[in-house]
Amino acid sequence: MGKFYVTTPIYYVTAKPHIGHAYTTVIADILARWHRLKGEKVFFLTGTDEHGGKVEKYAADAGKSPKEFVDDVANSYKFAWDSLNISYDKFIRTTDKEHEVAVQRFANLIWDNGDIYKSKYEGWYCLPDETFIPDSEITDEKCPYCGRPVQRLQEDAFFFSLSRYREPLLRVFDENKTFLMPKSRYNEILNRLNDELKDLDITRKSVKWGIQFPPSPDHTIYVWFDALLNYISALGWPDGENFKEFWPADVHVVGKEIAWFHSVIWPAMLLAGDISLPKAVLSHGWWTVDGKKMSKSLGNVVDPMDIIKRYSEDAFRYFLIKEKPIWEDGDFSEKALVSRINGELVADLGNLVSRVLTLASRYKGEIAGDIDLENADIDKISSLFDSFDVTGALEEVWKFIRSVNKYINDKEPWKLEGAELGRVLNNSLEAIRVIAILLEPFMPASAVKIREQLGVRETKFSDIKLSTFNGSVKRGENLFKKYD
Ligand SMILES: [Zn+2]
């Protein structure tokens, strides 16, 4: 029996869950559910990233202590993931004691290995806010928080000798061409890595809300360095049973903006700690909203809870995966969502289930007979999942749904009777049973509803074949609602 370890990034608590977070998390959930279906042992990790000067700042603005602030935001993520039916095995928070201990242990380890040295960090500093601000967030030498002028300032900092790992990382990229997916991102990061690799400051003297750096306790560990270690601390590194069983990760699912951190900095850290590397990093594309970049100032941030309430968690999950290839950027609009609900969920799937079950519940004869319907292409679906192409896999499942609709239209069972009707009903019900299994990773709630109406329980991978129907049909309400 295989194992499968899949992670999402831990989400930074300065933002509430939005469509981008939901997207990454749904992809990871689909992969986790697929591998469970195959009978593998799965560990699915998600969580929140809770340290850093920015969090201190946001908490102060909200009139809360950092701890109260991060507790509230962590809860809003848990609530969103429960509402989206996310089947995570562990929700890690970087303020968890076990995580903090593991991070300090790791810092000590690579300090002892000689991979950390003391130097000076220079950056933009806002004096009233007592905060260093990344170059990328500065425009016109003004503080993004308070608008006052910032100044260049230096402070002591400890650096991780990242540059030492440039050659080993180039070898990793060379030996594993799917280490980072898609290929375009792989090439982009490889080019950057070929250019140069600078050492990285990993401590802050001015930030109090962070994990103490043991070799020099007046410093805290920089939030990125702290956060990346969640993938092993969550498993109980170095001695935990889960670490022994599940590490290395089979895939880290991330957005493209953090591909560099996950395919360069994180592997370099692991090499420094003499820990094996993840097998793959999947870096997906972004969402725009109504054709525009999503931003707080435009007020077009899509709240997953809002979509789930007005439509359903499955409609949202379906849309996210079906609307665009996972490697590419795509656009969210309610118009597009409604069009997929009406045109695909209602017209292809909902109607199929409803008309077959209506016919079957009226039929009093024996439901049995030869199979004259081609099954879904399981090999193709499996191989698409192996390359993490969840959009392609869903497309393939949908092809099957459409072929079953065509089968019914061709056979016109409403004109049949007796054994011939029993046979067509058997094949149609069996096809719907298979569809429910195949849809389980994508739309788990709908899969349950279909199984209930069919009166069947199987959800095993080996049950994905057409045979003799042995459920007991109980026509229920429509799976999906049509919208104007
Ligand atoms: Zn300021």
Tens digit of each residue's pLDDT, the chain (484 residues): 799 999 999 999 998 999 999 999 999 999 999 999 999 999 999 999 999 988 988 999 999 999 999 999 999 999 999 999 999 999 999 999 999 999 999 999 999 999 999 999 999 988 877 778 888 888 889 998 888 999 999 999 999 999 999 999 999 999 999 999 999 999 999 999 999 899 999 999 888 999 999 999 999 999 999 999 999 999 999 999 999 999 999 999 999 999 999 999 999 999 999 999 999 999 999 999 999 998 888 889 999 999 999 999 999 999 999 999 999 999 999 999 999 999 999 999 999 999 999 999 999 999 999 999 999 999 999 999 999 999 999 999 999 999 999 999 999 999 999 999 999 999 999 999 999 999 999 999 999 999 999 999 878 999 999 999 999 999 999 999 999 8
For residue 248, cis peptide bond before it (omega within 30 degrees of 0): yes
- Centre of ligand 1 to C-alpha 139, Å, is 12
Question: What are the C-alpha distances in Å from 134 to residues 37, 140, 316, 443?
Answer: 44, 13, 35, 40
- Centre of ligand 1 to C-alpha 133, Å, is 9
Q: For the domain bounded by 333-463, which CATH number is listed?
A: 1.10.730.10
Beta carbons of 186 and 175 less than 8 angstroms apart = no
Please give the model's pTM, rounded to 2 decimal places.
0.96
- Centre of ligand 1 to C-alpha 132, Å, is 9
For the chain, the structural domain boundaries read 333-463
Question: Helix 418-439 to helix 390-411 angle, to the nearest 10 degrees?
Answer: 170
- Centre of ligand 1 to C-alpha 261, Å, is 27
Q: Both tokens of residue 262?
A: 């996950």
- Centre of ligand 1 to C-alpha 265, Å, is 29
- Centre of ligand 1 to C-alpha 123, Å, is 14
- Centre of ligand 1 to C-alpha 49, Å, is 23
Q: How confident is the model at residue 145, as a pLDDT? A: 82
- Centre of ligand 1 to C-alpha 412, Å, is 71
Beta carbons of 461 and 37 less than 8 angstroms apart = yes
Q: How confident is the model at residue 413, as a pLDDT? A: 97
Protein residues placing their CB within 5 Å of the ion ligand 1? 126, 129, 143, 145-146
Dihedral sign for Cα atoms in the order 30, 31, 37, 42: negative
- Centre of ligand 1 to C-alpha 449, Å, is 53
- Centre of ligand 1 to C-alpha 72, Å, is 25
Burial of 73 (0-12, 13-18, 19+ CB in 10 A): buried
Q: Both tokens of residue 302?
A: 């899509």
- Centre of ligand 1 to C-alpha 207, Å, is 14
- Centre of ligand 1 to C-alpha 348, Å, is 55
Query: What distance in Å separates the CA atoms of residue 241 and residue 245, rounded to the nearest whole number?
Result: 6
SS3 per-residue string spanning 418-484: HHHHHHHHHHHHHHHHHHHHHHCCCCHHHHHHHHHHHCCCCCCHHHCCCCCCCCCCCCCCCCCCCCC
- Centre of ligand 1 to C-alpha 71, Å, is 25
